[in-house]
Amino acid sequence: MGYKTKIAIQKIKNEDVKTSVFSALELINAKELMQKDNMIVLLKPNILMGKPPERGVNTHPEVVRSVIQWVKKFNPAKIYVCDSAGGAKVGITEKAIVDSGIGIVCEEEGAECLPFEKSERKIYKIENPLELEEISSSKLIDDADLIINIPKIKTHWQCTLTCCIKNMFGTVLLANKAKTHAQAAVLDRFCSALVDIYSVSKPQLTVIDGYICMEGQGPSSGDVVKLDLILAGYDPVALDSVVCKIIGFDPSEVLYLAKAEQKELGSTDLEKVEIIGETIKDVYRKFKRPKLKPISMPLPKWLANYLGKTIFKATVKFNKEKCKLCSTCWTNCPVGAITPPLEIKKGNVPKWDSKKCITCFCCVELCPHEAVKFKINYIKNALFSWMGLGCIAFLAVVSLFFLWIQVN
């Protein structure tokens, strides 16, 4: 029998997160990674935006606390807890750190909580790139002796699931995330970019927050699910695949997993996984899916781009009642497709330019008031695309031809 990667699944009982985190790490023998003296350890939770723990958007602060406490047992020289929140506004990560409850936990536990954008920057060249030649990230990625990924289990509008691989998108600094969205506007290419980013910031260990999760229209406006789970392991692709199975999805639905496997970051083959602790069956809880079902397009880049920008194009709508004209959407749209209304007053909403929009869903994801909704009308999009018009013209010519034959 070949080598099997270990994944521990532990239930959280009576809100005791620490016991579950510690026992999951013990089951996979994670202390083997902590043999060096004076280690610099970098923890990467998901700090997407300024939302409280009970909303299920960011990694739960008690999971972060438990991982810090576990690391502290090995007397590290320094523990950093870092992320770069969604959006490009200066100060947005600091706000998210405070509102998520992670800032205070770090203070209490003596870890340094730092927005990645406040650390020294470094440009990383990507080996064998699928989409990105290089990324602008933090030098801490290089300096750390150990990186521990602490993602949360959430559904995702665009990518179906956000967990291990997707969480490392947060190592890309503020506005550079928008640039990545703009460059890799089609889902297939965006998934390639996610895998390139992961290949640079590759953590040695992952502890998954499956405590308070999100289903449906995640990663920020879905419904909260109290799943009460912790998973720990080494292979991010296997971990994401196990998470898929737990929440009733198929790993093949998550496009970046096959790409990560192609880049030899791990395996989706669960025959190569040794699951310790609970079984998938024991903890199964079907999650509501996001409205969008991504379609893989093994097509030439130009055709995939064309289809992504026509057939799969969304119409973005703003809810007048919910919108607080906070400016998040227009300051963060990567292509400037959203502008403020002429007058900032209640009842007005931002303006959306369908020609510029690349359907990246950043506005939906980042609106703090859940005021942005989208709709994709595939039939209308197809009919009004050049390809649709071409097909209609072709059918019209063929029909006229047969009519002419019949008449004559």
Interface ranges with ligand SF4 (CB under 6 A): 316, 318, 323-329, 333-335, 337-338, 350, 352, 357-363, 367, 369, 371-372
CB of residue 333 to ligand SF4, shortest distance in Å:
3
Question: Which amino acid does the sequence have at 299?
Answer: L
Question: Largest Cα–Cα distance in the chain?
Answer: 92
Name the minimum Å distance from CB 95 to ligand SF4: 14
Q: What angle do CA 209, 55, 332 make, to 5 degrees?
A: 95
| Bridge partners, residue 154, by sequence | 162, 214
The smaller minimum CB distance to ligand SF4, of residues 260 and 371, is found at 371
Min separation Cβ 210 and ligand SF4, Å:
29
Provide the minimum distance between the beta carbon of 386 and ligand SF4 in the complex, in angstroms, as a whole number.
Answer: 20
Of 313, 340, 329, the residue nearest 371 (C-alpha): 329
Token digits of residue 180: 């990545």
Nearer to ligand SF4, 141 or 338 (CB): 338
The full length of the chain comes to 408
Our CB check for ligand SF4 shows the closer of 116 and 361 to be 361
Joined tokens for residue 105: 């936990």
CB of 335 to ligand SF4, least distance (A): 5
Closer residue to ligand SF4 (CB): 13 or 317 = 317
For residue 169, give both structure tokens: 């998108």
3-state secondary structure of 214: strand
Helix runs in 28-174, H state only: 61-72, 92-99, 102-109, 140-143, 164-167
* Phi, psi angles (nearest 5°) of residue 275: -90, 125
> Which residue, 107 or 353, has its beta carbon nearer to ligand SF4?
353
Kindly provide the residue ranges of all beta strands, DSSP E only, lying in 223-310, ordered along the sequence: 223-233, 273-277
Q: Which is nearer to ligand SF4, 226 or 375 (CB)?
A: 375
What residues form DSSP beta bridges with 277?
9
CB of 117 to ligand SF4, least distance (A): 20
Task: State the nearest-atom distance from the C-beta of 209 to ligand SF4, in Å.
Answer: 26
Question: Closest separation between CB of residue 290 and ligand SF4, Å?
Answer: 14
If the CB atoms of residues 143 and 370 are measured against ligand SF4, the closer one turns out to be: 370
What are the helix (H) ranges across 231-300? 236-246, 255-262, 280-283
Q: Are 191 and 135 contacting, i.e. CB atoms less than 8 angstroms apart?
A: no
Give the residue with the Cβ less far from ligand SF4, 65 or 177.
177
Residue closer to ligand SF4 (CB basis): 210 or 334: 334
User: Coil, helix or strand for 122?
Assistant: strand
Q: Cβ distance 176 to 211 under 8 Å?
A: no
Burial class (CB in 10 A: 0-12, 13-18, 19+), 180: buried
Least distance (Å) between residue 282 CB and ligand SF4: 39
Q: Which is nearer to ligand SF4, 84 or 206 (CB)?
A: 84
| Shortest reach from residue 115's CB to ligand SF4, in Å | 20
| Three-point CA angle 249, 7, 24, nearest 5° | 115
Q: What are phi and psi of 155, to 5 degrees?
A: -75, 165
